[in-house]
Amino acid sequence: MRDLRRVGRMLAMLLALALALAAPQSFAEQVVSGEVAAASLPREAAQTLRLIRARGPFPYRQDGVVFSNREHRLPAQPRNYYHEYTVPTPGAHDRGARRIIAGGNGEVYYTDDHYRSFRLIRQ
């Protein structure tokens, strides 16, 4: 009987964990790392921000494409609201993991882990 209760408690804990992981996240949890000052970003990010403000020309053909926010880590917005831009990574043999995501109202987010987390850039 004691073993049965222990198994029941373990199942209840696993169910609670599964529900917590499946629950929708709040905005504060979605943009995991909070905010970052533009001046504290890597210099390649500062250059990408300048190119975004100038509307190009961009070094990568993928720059400016729609970012669909499939992971739902940024605030929910209509389709085509977000656009992504590459932040070059020195030594990388491809585009690397760093990106700036620009929103339709001028807000910009930085990720250095390929969309797993974002920080709102304070200009």
Instruction: Indicate the length of the chain as a whole number.
Output: 123
- Residue of 29, 71, 72, 114 with catalytic role: 114
Q: What is the pLDDT of residue 84?
A: 97
- Residue of 29, 83, 84, 93 with catalytic role: 84
pLDDT tens readout for residues 42-64: 999 999 999 999 999 999 999 99
Q: What is the DSSP string of 17-78?
A: HHHHHHSPPPHHHHSTT-EEEGGGS-HHHHHHHHHHHHT---SSTTTTEEE--TT--S----
Q: What is the pLDDT of residue 83?
A: 98
In this structure, which topology does domain 28-122 adopt according to CATH? Nuclear Transport Factor 2; Chain: A, (3.10.450)
Mean per-residue pLDDT of the chain? 83
pLDDT tens readout for residues 61-113: 999 999 999 989 999 999 999 999 999 999 888 999 999 999 999 999 999 99
**Residue 83 falls in the annotated catalytic set:** no
Q: Where are the domains of the chain?
A: 28-122
Query: Taking 90 as the threshold, does the pLDDT of residue 122 lie above it?
Result: yes
**Residue 71 falls in the annotated catalytic set:** no
